[in-house]
Amino acid sequence: MADASAFPADIRHDWSVAEAEALFVQPFNDLVFRAQSVHRAHFPANQVQLSTLLSIKTGGCPEDCAYCPQAARYDTGVDAQKLMAVEAVVAEARRAKEAGASRYCMGAAWREPKDRDLEAICDMVQGVKALGLETCMTLGMLTGAQAQRLKEAGLDYYNHNIDTSPEHYGQIITTRTYQDRLDTLAHVRDAGMKVCCGGIVGMGESVRDRAGMLVTLANLPEHPESVPINMLVQVHGTPLDGTRKLDPLDFVRTIAVARIMMPKSMVRLSAGREEMSDELQALCFLAGANSIFAGPKLLTTPNPGRDHDSLLFQRLGIKPMPLETHAHG
């Protein structure tokens, strides 16, 4: 009989793609058992951290990310809007906290923020922090000076996903390089903020690409404290609309391998939950996911309602993670 303690949960930064690929092709039950064992070595077994995501500046983005309804070049029915007022953002954050969120994430559809926008952004960070919430921003690429300014305003996390493997990246985005993304992550780390960085699966990538994406994350000098794993939400008008759907069990495998390779990171079951069955989400929690986005929307795509999430948590015996027990992420 397999012994849970037989699985080392060491923090490593020297993974090879072949090693990660070997995890992906393990028998499903073995992989999930190992992931759950690693998870229990570092986190409470039945707690999930709740984050809420608000689009503070929607649409009109000059990038060409093939999955994104906010790219100005695609006709997806998303209208470009200006940056929200600080007071409106803080009011939304207050509602999110009342509904149980412990982290508040704010996203702007920019290639990179302009310095003139940072004053309002910093005011938002301070307003949300004053409510007792963790703060996270995703604003595109950052310079070192911009990262420093956000840190001084009190920003806890910066989200900047690598999206996929270095090899598959050019099929998805041509308007910025993989290195651009890694440079922004380095600026965030150097400024002393926590990193939220993951990717998207179901974009026509291979198992090797999924392994390569997780190797890139796990071999960073420090593991991201938060690793969102997104299932592609296909949006009419984007180039990836009509892509063959990923086998749901391959999605669970991605969660499990992320948990094994980054034992102390929050692994977030992120975009795509609206299309997932309760049973699939339950398997993701079993495979080591311990964070979700709660609330009606993820930027511009739908998300399950809070009542549905509460009911699912009740059925699974899962409780929202209190802020003070966020072990690492």
pLDDT by position in tens, the chain (length 329) = 444 445 555 789 999 999 999 999 999 999 999 999 999 999 999 999 888 888 888 776 767 677 777 776 666 667 667 888 999 999 989 988 888 888 888 988 787 888 888 999 999 999 999 999 999 999 989 999 999 999 999 999 999 999 999 999 988 888 888 999 999 999 999 999 999 999 999 999 999 999 999 999 999 999 999 999 999 887 877 767 778 899 999 999 999 999 999 999 999 998 888 888 999 999 999 999 999 877 654 444 454 555 788 889 999 999 988 876 554 44
Q: Which of 149, 176, 268, 273 is catalytic?
A: 268
Nearest to 108 by CA among 161, 61, 172: 61
Neighbours of 112 (CB within 10 A): 16
**Alpha carbons 70 and 299: distance in angstroms, whole number:** 9
Look-up of token digits 């079951």 = 269
Catalytic annotation on 268?
Answer: yes
Alpha helices in 79-235 (DSSP H): 86-98, 118-129, 144-153, 169-172, 178-190, 207-218
Verify whether residue 68 is a known catalytic residue. Answer: yes
In the prediction, which pLDDT does 111 show?
A: 79
105 is catalytic: yes
From 34, 103, 136, 284, the catalytic residue = 136
pLDDT value at residue 113: 87
Under 8 Å between Cβ of 273 and 304: yes
What confidence score (pLDDT) does residue 327 get?
A: 45
d(CA 49, CA 329): 9
Predicted pLDDT of residue 151: 96
Angle, alpha carbons 290-139-177 (nearest 5°): 95
User: Which are the contacts of 80, defined by CB distance < 8 A and separation ≥ 6?
Assistant: 58, 59, 60, 72, 109
Give the contacts of 16 (CB within 8 A, at least 6 positions apart).
215
Tell me, yes or no, if 65 is annotated catalytic: yes
- Whether the predicted model's global pTM rises above the 0.75 cut: yes
Q: Are strands 301-302 and 297-298 parallel, antiparallel or unpaired?
A: antiparallel
Burial (CB count within 10 angstroms: exposed 0-12, middle 13-18, buried 19+), residue 189:
middle
Please tell me the predicted confidence (pLDDT) of residue 172: 87
* Residue 52, pLDDT score: 84
Catalytic residue flag (residue 284): no
Q: Is 197 considered catalytic here?
A: no
